[in-house]
Structure 1
Amino acid sequence: MFHVQVSFTGDKTISTPILLALCKPVFQDPITIVTYAEHKELNSVWLLGMSYNPSYRDHQDLLQEVANKELMLIKEEKHLKRVTSKMFSRVTEDERESMRMKEMSEGLPEAEGDKTKQDVEDGSENDSECRAINPPAENRKKTLKKRRKLKEAQLREQQRNESRSEKKKISDIYRLKFLKQELENNDNKLAKLREKREKIKAIKANGPKQLSKKKFEPLDLEFNLGEDIKGNLRGIKPEGNILEDRYKSLQRRNIIEPTVKQRTRKANVKRYERKS
């Protein structure tokens, strides 16, 4: 909103264009525009339950958020245990030794000799029995009655398929009135998906970007239990680290890149005794 200041001299009348030209803007109120993505990002970073004197509902929402994250971590840990350590069965030392001996003894000449000897004995026992080499032949030729019934069944199946296709054509003709509605519903669905995709893209554009090999990892939510909240800054129990919080804030705003603490190894210095 503009506040103007106009000064008049004498009794002369001033026209509207000249009056507008004489108007001098004294100051202009600043207007802060916050987009949807920025508003959502601010709400996701700063929760109302983190205040030193929050309302009961905001504090419960914060505790619920912390509990949900903890449950997700527990679920992920259980999944990793299930697909790694619990995936294999445990065996005793004796079972492991017997399995090892069995595996290492596969293909040895003694084992092959025992197998061939056993096969020869089984063959000698079976040779004493008399049996036919080929099974008896069967007459599988179809009779005229079976052929006629098969042809009639094929003809009925063909007629059934033709009638089904004709019914489908008739139903498609009556279904034309509903095709327009289906197309409109499909267009509306695609428009909603496009709008949702654009919102996600806008949120990602304002969010932290990957500036290095390490991705940005936000800090855990800082919270106080109900008995620790005193209602004033003097008696509240401090939580978290201010320096670490500011450092993560710089990373979240893409000012600095996320890094990890590098471990420097000390070089092994060889020491020699100087001979005098």
Structure 2
Amino acid sequence: MAAVRRHKRVAAAQPGFLPVKSSLDGNSSVIKPRKRVNKNKKKSWNKFSDIQDVEEFLDDVRLQERATGGLISEKTDDSLFFVDTGETDEKDTQKGKHSKPLRIDLILQPDSHIPAPKNVLAFQQPNAKKQRRISENAAKLAAMGVLPRREKLLQLRRAAAASGVSVKEHPVANNNPDRAFYDLWSAGTPEMADPYYLEQTKKKLVKRPDRLNEKPSVLPAIEVIAPGGSYNPDFFSHQDLLREAHEVEVKKQKAEEKLTRQLAVNEDKATEESTFKEQVEGLIEEEEIEPKEPEGDTEDTVIGPTATQEKKTEKQRKKEKAKRIKVKNRSLHKKLWNKNTKVDAVVTCCSLIGIESVLFFRRFQTPDLDVQLSDELASSLRSLKPEGSILKDRFKSLQKRNIIEPRERARFKRKYKLKYSEKRAFREIE
């Protein structure tokens, strides 16, 4: 406590010190009686030490530095006071207001020699790199004499406005008596709106390319059957249809018989040996030739090779295996090469003929005719039995018109063999 009072007296005894607050005056301060406490510990020392007067003195010094830029005792009279003569110059005051900054602004200005960090976010622009690239490309195109679409449209509008011609004609209102006459009940209605607007709103179809209107085949989508195929046909028409179906069946039967003849195995087929025997038969007399018995003991003789075959080494077996794999790969490569050669030949022939693309490599097979015999004809539609399938007919029509390629029905191939096992109940019954 004594040290605090001594520090206070030393600060107040400095020459020219003027306290701003009246509480710092030594006469007005009331000295409280000293309280006797034990200060042998840091906690007690911090708790019972009175430093209020020191804090007040330091606050007053800080206030003087903020208000006047330093201690008042160190300032001159001219900086603290001014002489009021009663005369005011408006020009000088206005000029001073605008030219001289405020004192508070000068105080708030940084006085550090280290510059403030640059705010990068204040200088950033969204999509700056993209906009710079677009502007550079536009400058290059402008140097080459190429203008963007927006500039071209702007020039057209300016030229049209200068010549007095409207660029876009507005549609005529329905209640305008000067509009063109059209028939209300005609097949086509006039397009009063903008064509681009109609296309975007799906009210007008987009113009189809000409290649989409070309049909892959000249055949009709639905072929009309022969007159003999109706439910109550004419006699001669029905006979013509039966004759046509009969000719198809005869062709199939002939093809099957031809295939059977080609695949038949002739057991009495002449060979070279049989032909030679027939030629020399009767010319040479056959003599009975008795087999000669080998001399010596037959028991000790051994028939067949006496030396046993040596076992192959692992190296020899590997060589033989590699040789077999090489031969197999060579034959497979040869088959693939022959297949690719045939495909290339087909494509070359089609290109020479003028066909752009080949859709299939199988020939289209005409389906069987749906025909009923004379005794199967029904007298009414109620008793008529359906023939054929609509789905199969449409599928064959698509193949015939070159819309899809001819196909064969996938054959069912069982992955694993069936396993038969007898159950216990079945064995008990037996």
For Structure 1 versus Structure 2, the TM-score category normalised by the shorter chain is 0.3 to 0.5
- Tell me which of the two structures has the higher relative contact order, counting C-alpha pairs closer than 8 angstroms and 6 or more residues apart: 1
TM-score, normalising length from structure 2? 0.25
TM-score, normalising length from structure 1? 0.37
